[in-house]
């Protein structure tokens, strides 16, 4: 399968750990960029690390998690070539792939349940980019 980079701050650590397990069960290689516990850390460090791993090609896709998903998605999106989408349900995750060619899924541990997070991950990993009219829009994101 593919290499998926994951990262979280302390507020997303529990969900990040579950995501890592799900990815491994599905046969993916997990590039865990931290954090590795519940001690307070700064989400920009981990969002940037995942963004850089995906943008450089070290990982095909990424998953970032913090309490709300907002801060870490902003951090990941500061990296040129990273397209992180904060998703609250499977439909958002599917559309982020189909229309925006998102390459990083952002989740908020404090805002969604475990089954919803798993649905988001499945839709994100299994939905292809549609291209076509969406490609020129995605190209503008990198311009």
Is 87 a catalytic site residue?
Answer: no
Which among 10, 28, 87, 99 is annotated as catalytic? 99
Q: How far apart are CA 63 and CA 86, in angstroms?
A: 10
Is 99 a catalytic site residue?
Answer: yes
Beta bridge partners of 65: 8, 107
Which among 28, 66, 87, 120 is annotated as catalytic? 66
Map residue 134 onto helix, strand or coil: helix
Residue 132: which of 103, 98, 104 has the closest Cα? 98
Tokens of 6: 């994951």
Which active-site residues does the annotation give?
A: 66, 99
């Amino acid at each position: 399968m593919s290499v998926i980079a994951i990262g979280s701050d302390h507020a997303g650590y529990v969900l990040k750990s579950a995501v890592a397990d799900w990815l491994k069960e599905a046969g993916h290689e997990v590039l865990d960029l931290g954090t590795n516990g519940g001690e307070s850390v700064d989400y920009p460090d981990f969002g940037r690390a995942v963004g850089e791993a995906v943008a450089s090609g070290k990982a095909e896709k990424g998953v970032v998690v913090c309490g709300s998903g907002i801060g870490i998605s902003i951090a990941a999106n500061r990296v040129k070539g990273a397209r992180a989408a904060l998703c609250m349900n499977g439909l958002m995750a599917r559309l982020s792939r189909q229309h925006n060619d998102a390459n990083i899924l952002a989740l908020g541990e404090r805002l969604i349940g475990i089954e919803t997070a798993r649905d988001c991950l499945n839709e994100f990993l299994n939905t292809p980019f549609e291209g076509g009219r969406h490609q020129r829009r995605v190209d503008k994101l990198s311009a």
